[in-house]
Copies of this chain bind each other. A is one copy, B any other.
Amino acid sequence: MATVPLLSDEDAAPESRAVFDRIRAARDTDYVNNFWRALAHDPALLTATWDRLSTVMAPGALDPLVKELVYLAVSTANGCAYCIHSHTAAARAKGMTPAQHAELLAVIAMASQTNALATALQVPTDDRFQES
């Protein structure tokens, strides 16, 4: 259970309800997921978060599926259960195949173990990696 009640359309303030409508329009669905209904207690935070997300995840130099894979990888490293579930679903909706999912998992696992080793050994950064 969330630390705040999830707000239905009826209970949400008009500004939050307007964001719900923009979410529905952007995703072409009637469904507004729990994250936004929890955020809706603060219409300003809801608006800022949705607007920024829409901008950041739009197609650009990286394609939307790659962005979802990165999002899922970060959510995993941060241990956010909700985000892992919702972004695994989002990645599938954007075309992630089982083979891509499997390779994503393998990369996440690989990075996690070499991150731990480099940290445990406190390896100094090579000069050549310092030149930006």
A: residues with CB less than 8 A from B are 1-6, 31, 33-35, 38-39, 41-42, 45, 48-49, 52-53, 55-57, 60-62, 66-67, 69-89, 97-126, 128-132
Each complex incorporates copies of this chain amounting to 6
Question: Contacts A107-B71, A115-B75: A121 and B86 contacting too (C-beta < 8 A)?
Answer: no
| Chain A interface helix/strand/loop/mixed | helix
Find out whether the CB atom of A34 lies under 8 angstroms from the CB atom of B126. yes
Shortest Cβ distance from A3 into B: residue: B88
B120 touches A3 (CB 8 A): yes
| Contact residue among B31, B53, B78, B80 (Cβ-Cβ distance under 8 Å from A110) | B53
Bound together, the chains give a CA A1 to CA B82 distance in angstroms of 11
Q: How far is the CA of A78 from the CA of B74 in the complex (A)?
A: 9
Please state if B2 and A103 are interface contacts (CB–CB under 8 Å).
no
Contact yes or no, A121 B52, CB < 8 A: no
Are B84 and A3 neighbours in the complex by a CB distance under 8 Å? yes
Tell me the smallest distance from the CB of A60 to a CB of chain B, in Å: 5
Q: Which of B97, B113, B124, B131 contacts A113 (CB 8 A)?
A: B113
Q: Which residue of B lies closest to A105 (CB)?
A: B120
Cα of A132 to Cα of B53 in the assembled complex, Å: 25
B70 touches A107 (CB 8 A): yes
**Which residues of B are found within 8 Å of A109, using beta-carbon distances?**
45, 49, 56, 113-114, 116-117, 120
